[in-house]
């Protein structure tokens, strides 16, 4: 595996819209590193949410990204396929109290946790999703699991993965054929999703574990402010401004959806996404993290697509849904210049989308990777090919914390990407990325 110099640098595109006030394009350069150990190859890119990452918590955000990369790489090195590796990364991201997914998720209007998650396998093109999964009312929830305890499903993405696996696990993947999934469901919500997860042995956890001190404090503070605002204000715009400023003040509730994209030693790609959703959301609200085409996308190379692509999105769920952003990015990445294609997509199909024409700002972020095979650079092994992996992240939110690692690296690299000073969140795009080469057997 060779980590090589980053993508060739590019100039910012001219602004296509008055909404786009600034475009920052930074291209990271990576040090060359050679390794010829015969471990299984693969690459992972994760993020801990597009939103606002305070400097004071930067260390924690980076740390969870690093751990998530390591978990995925351990799987890949052991020969696991992309879906297993991407699940391992997501579980780690969900388990952190600093992310808005799984543990520490935003609480809804009733003080409950309800999670969305999904996963897509680029090889089979299967997809599994859970929406508004589990939920914990602050005082009164009565939800009994098989042991008679009050339990939550902690890891939404495991349930989504398990759901996808039920489709994967039978010949012909069989949307409509399996005993465990007799009518071929790929999307379960609410209590039904909870029952299904428990029946399939997905780990659950007792109450008060997923709700952290921070998320509960943020819930109480936000709810108090919302009630106050509703009493004294009739102007919705002021209400919104107040909500925004309170969020930033308190440095909570401003992160969204976490995600990961992976390519394994066979060249299969997978993508996954998990979210606690918006703070103070209505119970039952499902965002992009559970929705096909919106939260994640993965598609191996095929007759109509020269590149394998994997995408995971984050940000304002409704913005990502209206634009079906994950699938849109995946399609765009079939163009020759990945960097240019992603930038144009973020500008023209997201910020300037007619589906979001009346929005003040369009908030989101994506991580993407695409791969293609090319002859190995070294002459040493004629039975090897190089898998060229291009990986990028882009966001219109103030910041995005990412991590990435290949199976031959000793540790993950992490980075908090920020909009340049003066750029307006929701109207500007930051984009960065790099390239690495993986040696892989010829299939």
Q: What is the dihedral of CA 274, 278, 279, 284, to 10 degrees?
A: -90
Sign for the pseudo-dihedral over CA of 214, 251, 154, 63: negative
Is there binding between residue 56 and a copy of itself (CB under 8 A)? Answer: no
Q: Extract the tokens encoding 50.
A: 């597009």
State the Cα–Cα distance between residues 230 and 252, nearest whole angstrom. 21
State the Cα–Cα distance between residues 105 and 96, nearest whole angstrom. 10
Site residues (CB under 8 A) for a copy of itself, limited to 23-42: none
Query: What is the closest distance, in whole angstroms, from the C-beta atom of residue 421 to a copy of itself in the complex?
Result: 25
Closest to a copy of itself by CB, 169 or 207: 169
Q: Cα separations (Å) of 187 from 119, 164, 269, 431?
A: 11, 9, 21, 32
Is there binding between residue 292 and a copy of itself (CB under 8 A)? Answer: yes
Please report the DSSP string for 69-105 in residue order.
Answer: HHHHHHHHHTT--HHHHHHHHHHHHHH-TTSSSSTTP
CB–CB of 260/412 below 8 Å?
Answer: no
Site residues (CB under 8 A) for a copy of itself, limited to 123-142: 125, 127, 131-132
Closest to a copy of itself by CB, 201 or 410: 201
Is there binding between residue 442 and a copy of itself (CB under 8 A)? Answer: no
- Candidate list 14, 148, 172, 421; residue touching a copy of itself; CB under 8 A: 172
Is there binding between residue 150 and a copy of itself (CB under 8 A)? Answer: no
- Candidate list 100, 186, 257, 371; residue touching a copy of itself; CB under 8 A: 186
- Annotated catalytic residue, options 2, 87, 257, 301: 257
Phi/psi for 433 (5° steps) reads 175, -170
Site residues (CB under 8 A) for a copy of itself, limited to 342-361: 354-359
Q: Is 382 exposed, middle or buried (0-12, 13-18, 19+ CB in 10 A)?
A: exposed
Whether 257 is catalytic: yes
CB–CB of 311/271 below 8 Å?
Answer: yes
Is there binding between residue 306 and a copy of itself (CB under 8 A)? Answer: no
- Candidate list 10, 12, 79, 192; residue touching a copy of itself; CB under 8 A: 192
- Candidate list 27, 150, 189, 388; residue touching a copy of itself; CB under 8 A: 189
Specify the stretch interacting with a copy of itself by CB under 8 A; choose among 41-49, 87-95, 292-300, 401-409: 292-300
CB–CB of 133/197 below 8 Å?
Answer: yes
Is there binding between residue 230 and a copy of itself (CB under 8 A)? Answer: yes
Strands 23-25 and 429-441, sheet pairing: parallel
Is there binding between residue 16 and a copy of itself (CB under 8 A)? Answer: no
State the Cα–Cα distance between residues 346 and 312, nearest whole angstrom. 14
- Candidate list 3, 198, 280, 311; residue touching a copy of itself; CB under 8 A: 280
Specify the stretch interacting with a copy of itself by CB under 8 A; choose among 4-12, 29-37, 149-157, 168-176: 168-176
Q: Is 102 left (phi over 0), alpha (psi -120 to 50) or beta?
A: left
Phi/psi for 395 (5° steps) reads -155, 150
Is there binding between residue 332 and a copy of itself (CB under 8 A)? Answer: no
Specify the stretch interacting with a copy of itself by CB under 8 A; choose among 30-38, 57-65, 312-320, 367-375: 312-320
Site residues (CB under 8 A) for a copy of itself, limited to 102-121: 114
Task: Give the active site residues.
Answer: 257
- Applying CB under 8 A, which residues contact a copy of itself? 114, 125, 127, 131-132, 170, 172-179, 181-196, 226, 230, 236-237, 239-240, 278, 280-287, 291-294, 302-304, 316, 318-319, 321-322, 324, 327, 354-359
């Amino acid at each position: 595996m060779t980590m090589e110099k980053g993508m060739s640098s590019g100039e910012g595109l001219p602004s296509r819209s008055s909404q786009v006030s600034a475009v920052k394009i930074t291209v990271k350069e990576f040090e060359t590193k050679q390794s010829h150990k015969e471990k299984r190859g693969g690459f992972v890119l994760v993020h801990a949410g597009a939103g606002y990452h305070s400097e004071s918590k930067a260390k924690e955000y980076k740390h969870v990204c690093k751990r998530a990369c390591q978990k995925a790489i351990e799987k890949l090195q052991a020969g696991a396929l992309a879906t297993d590796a991407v699940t391992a990364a997501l579980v780690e991201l969900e388990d952190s109290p600093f992310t808005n997914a799984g543990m520490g998720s935003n609480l809804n209007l009733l003080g409950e946790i309800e999670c969305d998650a999904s996963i897509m396998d680029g090889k089979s093109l299967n997809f599994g999703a859970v929406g508004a999964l589990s939920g914990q009312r602050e005082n009164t929830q009565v939800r009994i699991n098989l042991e008679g305890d009050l339990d939550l499903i902690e890891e939404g993405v495991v349930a989504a993965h398990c759901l996808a696996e039920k489709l994967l696990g039978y010949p012909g993947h069989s949307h409509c054929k399996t005993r465990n999934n007799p009518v071929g469901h790929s999307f379960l919500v609410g209590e039904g999703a909870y029952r299904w997860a428990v029946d399939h042995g997905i780990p659950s956890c007792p109450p008060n574990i997923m709700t952290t001190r921070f998320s509960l404090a943020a819930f109480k503070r936000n709810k108090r402010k919302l009630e106050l605002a509703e009493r004294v204000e009739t102007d919705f715009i002021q209400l919104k401004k107040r909500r925004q400023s309170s969020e930033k003040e308190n440095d909570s509730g401003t992160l969204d959806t976490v995600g990961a994209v992976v390519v394994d030693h066979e060249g299969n790609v997978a993508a996954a996404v998990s979210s606690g959703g918006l703070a103070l959301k209505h119970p039952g609200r499902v965002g992009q993290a559970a929705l096909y085409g919106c939260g994640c996308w993965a598609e191996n190379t095929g007759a109509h697509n020269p590149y394998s692509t994997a995408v995971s999105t984050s940000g304002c769920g409704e913005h990502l849904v209206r634009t079906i952003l994950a699938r849109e990015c995946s399609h765009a990445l079939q163009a020759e210049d990945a960097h240019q294609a992603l930038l144009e997509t973020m500008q023209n199909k997201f910020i300037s989308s007619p589906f979001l024409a009346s929005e003040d700002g369009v908030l989101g972020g994506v991580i993407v990777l695409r791969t293609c095979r090319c002859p190995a650079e070294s002459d040493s092994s004629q039975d090897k090919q190089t898998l060229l992996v291009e990986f990028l992240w882009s966001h219109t939110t103030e910041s995005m914390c990412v991590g990435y690692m290949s199976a031959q690296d000793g540790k993950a690299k992490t980075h908090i990407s920020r909009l340049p000073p003066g750029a307006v969140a929701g109207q500007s795009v930051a984009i960065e990325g790099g390239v690495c080469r993986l040696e892989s057997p010829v299939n």
